[in-house]
A and B are shown apart, each in its own frame.
Chain A
């Protein structure tokens, strides 16, 4: 097995985002918010820069959860649920805020998952041989000329 970043191609930001959205929705159907970390990490497989990894996870899960909330608003009175929930905290009438916070939480889970995933892949690649058999880790290749920022910055 070669290095992860040698095996998984860079497919561009938008396709990676779509993959993250799909995984965000599928994983969320299992009803466990922690899986959003994995969805974000999965999206981060397809980008190389750590900032993009965060963005893919963040936006991907934000969009995934937004789509789910649209569905739940239509079918399961999501706004009414949100209004009751916020009422328990003494903030009557701010139900939309619950959904916004929820989406933000999902986004952060996805973003941090992307961040963690990217860091993990690069860490693991230290120990994996490259495709040509060398065990020297390749230098990260910028996805475009202007990309240079990494977490170390």
Chain B
């Protein structure tokens, strides 16, 4: 044998082997390796151009399903059974949003490390500790155990099975062309869905809306302030100048609705915490408290920072509308993300279901929208439904805790975390009667002298919940009263649900499970050694706050105080929103009659800053009274004099206002900032109250000799604001608000973004908090019960999760657009044809329908 040829062969292997290694090894964030930059089968294979009309086999269908994709990529699903319809919806969810659903599921299940690697282990530990996946499994087990007893439960469960079956049909058909680019970059192949995944999605939604743990923050602030008078004055739970959501409470019959939300036993005994507080606050050591707060702040929140999770909704009845029938409006505020939280769909099953609106990908429900008889939308209640219990451990056995006079064993959950690198990170979660031990996540328990975790999280939404039964019923409801029946099942995150029907009724239904606390307030961590202290029951559904056809002719909510404590027997613990959006909504609805759909659109686009409307006149007045004539300040005050309080991007006054508000807070609440600058400087309704009532004590700067008046502080704030503005805007001397008030919607994996332009609003109905608005109206709905087939919607994003699809951001363009003349943002008509044939007939110029997918068994 010629040795040189052997050597040649061996040498020639070096190049290919080296290349294979280089092209498959992870490089930074590209865990899929460089091989994915090949022309086909990699990132360039992105499914574009999209296919035309298709016929797709979907095993498991009972009959053919026709899906008309409209010009915005919205599927209109025409099926002969709800099972078939939700199978098609599941397929569409997976086809358009597979990466999003996978990420949200893995995040909520504590499995992100499997996709991105072990650096996500802290997030995974957190989510495994709070146990969303365990609770989802409890929900599924309950549904499966009770489906035979109640056709409503069976129907909801069928929807889950259908969604999963449809999604899996798509996942099984994945090719290099339709595999989302994110998976290619991450080198990850998505798994098939299981029914529990749907419920994990629902639990994640609940956590995003109602997962705040205020106990740590409250305790830290109170301990740091070390002044209960100051604390109670500046940071009360019930704020002044709030217009409550519910003003004409309607209780239902306890005989007809004897149970609590979710149809669980409930007590009609009102708030017990005020009767006797027997469990005192347990002080968590400062360093442990700091670590816990940091842990809570660092964890990824599914719907954005809870501070910005809010919403508006309202409805007018025939007495206020131009049509004589209700008009319903809703714009839920969530953290912006791309792809959007929402996915629009229209589902038609003749004789059973005809509903359209936004779905949450991975959940077989239209969560916001309308059917052929009712329209509905949600806002978050923002109630504190999550308490911390400090368990008293058995000194001889840390796996036990004291309860009802004996040491009980913690339930031990072995939650080992698997990483992309192939490692297994052992992780154990203990659970007491109150809930999982939150300080399992980090070794914070060592900071309080305990060598083992002992802080149990008692969340009302842990365990089995029944929200998908509620949604299954709600989508079919024919009027407000059937909606009320549907919400009997709703025991997840507290929501203010606005409903209007084509019988002329309107309602604001506060739905969800609210705890009745005994022996403690729920504000701070406590130790509960027996079952006489804790969340002992729930407000019975019959007594949940609600308004039905109030005399004023409208209902409204914007996350403010649910109901005045003086007019409600139960305690709904906050904190809730400052209430400025609600005040503006109330003003607009109360002071207008013959309101049209166009008016409603205008209201949703409203950017009047109510805070400025109240406070700026005092600032001007103070300058006029005690100002020193400084020409720069005078010029600025002159701008404020003519400002109409609109937060428009091309104005200067909004920029000045932002700086003035901050400065007034700083100048007024020196009592707080002098203790610790990290403490929140009160809330604006408190500041407003002090200004309006001229609270001499708090306006005096106690660190100086002379006594400062309100006007002194407001003028001082003017100087401070202008100083800060001049320094921070040195490169943009025109100070136009839109220069820096922009919208930016980041892709879930930061591949790209949507937006970037100037943005209207602030703490206004059209909410856009901060300078770079990262949250706001996640969709806008206007539903006219007089002509339900001409209702409107738009959300900031697009139907497709494919960055390169024309439907990636086409809906954003509509949502973002603003007509200066009509003072409206853009919307699209929610096409509501009851048959595919009718839709085709209506599409006379081919502008409505993009293509058709026919699913065949």
Contacts and interface: CB of A to CB of B under 8 A. Distances in A.
Interface residues of A, dominant DSSP: helix
Contacts of B29: 88-89
Nearest to B181: A81
Nearest to B18: A112
Interface residues of A, number: 46
A8 B19 CA distance: 28
Interface string A77-112: 110111011011100000000100110011011011
A11 interface: no
Nearest to A83: B752
Contact of A31 (B7, B16, B176, B804): B176
B727 interface: no
A31 B40 contact: yes
A37 B804 CA distance: 30
B2 A126 contact: yes
B28 A89 contact: yes
B814 to A, nearest CB: 22
Interface of B: 1-2, 4-9, 11-13, 15-16, 19-20, 23, 27-30, 34-35, 37-46, 48-49, 176, 181, 185, 751-752, 803-804
Candidate in B11, B20, B37 with the most chain A CB atoms within 10 angstroms: B37
Given A77-B46, A102-B37, A122 B8 contact: yes
B11 to A, nearest CB: 7
B39 A126 contact: no
Contacts of A10: none
Given A76-B46, A122-B5, A116 B13 contact: yes
A123 B3 CA distance: 9
Nearest to B749: A88
Given A108-B19, A112-B19, A119-B12, A75 B48 contact: yes
Given A119-B5, A126-B5, A112 B41 contact: no
17 contacts: A28-B41, A30-B41, A32-B41, A33-B23, A65-B39, A75-B49, A84-B803, A87-B751, A88-B28, A89-B28, A89-B30, A98-B37, A105-B38, A108-B15, A116-B13, A116-B15, A123-B6
B37 A85 contact: yes
B751 A115 contact: no
Contacts of B16: 37, 109, 112-113, 116
Contacts of A105: 19, 23, 34-35, 37-38
Contact of B15 (A34, A77, A82, A112): A112
Contacts of B185: 85, 88
Contact of A81 (B1, B15, B46): B46
Interface string A36-48: 0100000000000
A30 B49 CA distance: 18
Contacts of A37: 16
A106 B5 contact: no
A65 B2 CA distance: 36
A149 interface: no
Contact of A137 (B2, B19, B176, B803): B2
A80 B805 CA distance: 11
Given A76-B48, A77-B46, A112-B16, 20 more contacts: A28-B38, A31-B176, A33-B38, A34-B20, A69-B39, A76-B49, A76-B804, A81-B43, A84-B752, A85-B37, A85-B185, A88-B30, A105-B23, A108-B19, A111-B15, A119-B11, A123-B9, A126-B2, A151-B11, A152-B8
